[in-house]
Amino acid sequence: MRKRLLRELADEYGRDFATLDVFCEMNLEPSMITGKGKRQWINEDGQIILSREFDLSEVIPKMLRMKVVKQAPNPKFVYGLHPDTKLRVPVMIRKQMAGKLVDKMIPVEVITDSDGGVSYRCTVRRFL
Q: Which amino acid is at 58?
A: E
Tens of pLDDT, residue by residue over 75-116, are: 999 999 999 899 999 999 998 888 899 999 999 999 888 777
CA distance 9 to 51: 9
Instruction: Tell me, yes or no, whether 128 lies in a domain.
Output: no
CA distance 93 to 29: 47
The predicted model scores a pTM of 0.53
Among residues 24, 17, 26, 58, the alpha carbon closest in space to that of 43 is found at 24
Query: What CATH number does residue 106 fall under?
Result: 2.40.50.140
Tens of pLDDT, residue by residue over 35-74, are: 988 899 999 999 999 888 886 555 456 889 999 999 999 9
CA distance 24 to 41: 11
- Orientation of helix 17-27 relative to helix 44-54, angle to 10°: 120
Domain of residue 42: give its range: 4-54
Domain boundary among 54, 75, 92: 54
32 has pLDDT over 70: yes
